[in-house]
Structure 1
Amino acid sequence: MKAGIHPNYVESTVTCSCGNVFVTRSTKPTLRTDLCSVCHPFYTGEQRIVDSAGQVERFTRRQEAAAANAGRKSKRQRRIDARTQVGADVTGDDAEDTADDAAAVAQA
């Protein structure tokens, strides 16, 4: 190995957020972590959600908003429905646009 280019590999103390402390080797003398083998759901067998950045709450908020808006139609869908109602007068270029829009909605 070339001398002087490699970092020092020292004993390191790892501290978990659950309070567990263990010693290993690393280039840094102290490390902090959110999970370890004592508190990780895979090792403990618990069914719990580990979320330190708030991503789970954000996801649930988005799901609730989507469920609340499930019955609403988009502006485009309302426009298509208005054009394709029974008895509507559709001629010329509008007829082509309506067919294209209806085909796009059918694919979605």
Structure 2
Amino acid sequence: MKILLPLSFVLLFFTSLTVIAKPVVRDVVIERIHPMAMDRTHCPSCSGITRIYVNNVAWGDTACRGDAADLLKEDEHILSILLAAWISGKSIQLEVNDSVTPIAPVCKITAAYIK
């Protein structure tokens, strides 16, 4: 038992080193925007999320769903850029991070770049 506890810490340490987040940036065309209510009783994990549907292309070598990305309610400043791009029909660059999946396998938008 004395060996198990230190061994588990060592394994946890090396496991955490191998799990590295992969932020990925790609050009997208926004096809649909789906804001979800704060009180969504049939899907509590969806509450307050805005799903952005985009052209279906892989997000690099991540496991992120290719046709969508999620935006959290506190990222209103990013939402305003997305709305501007969507209304104008411009392409935009989105960055997602595969270590943050509010509703797996859809990854969280962590940045937006408008051209």
The TM-score by the shorter chain falls in which range? under 0.3
Greater C-alpha radius of gyration: 1
The alignment's TM-score, normalised by the length of structure 1, stands at 0.26
Greater strand content: 2
The alignment's TM-score, normalised by the length of structure 2, stands at 0.25
Which has the higher relative contact order, 1 or 2, with Cα contacts under 8 A spaced 6 or more apart? 2
Greater helix content: 1
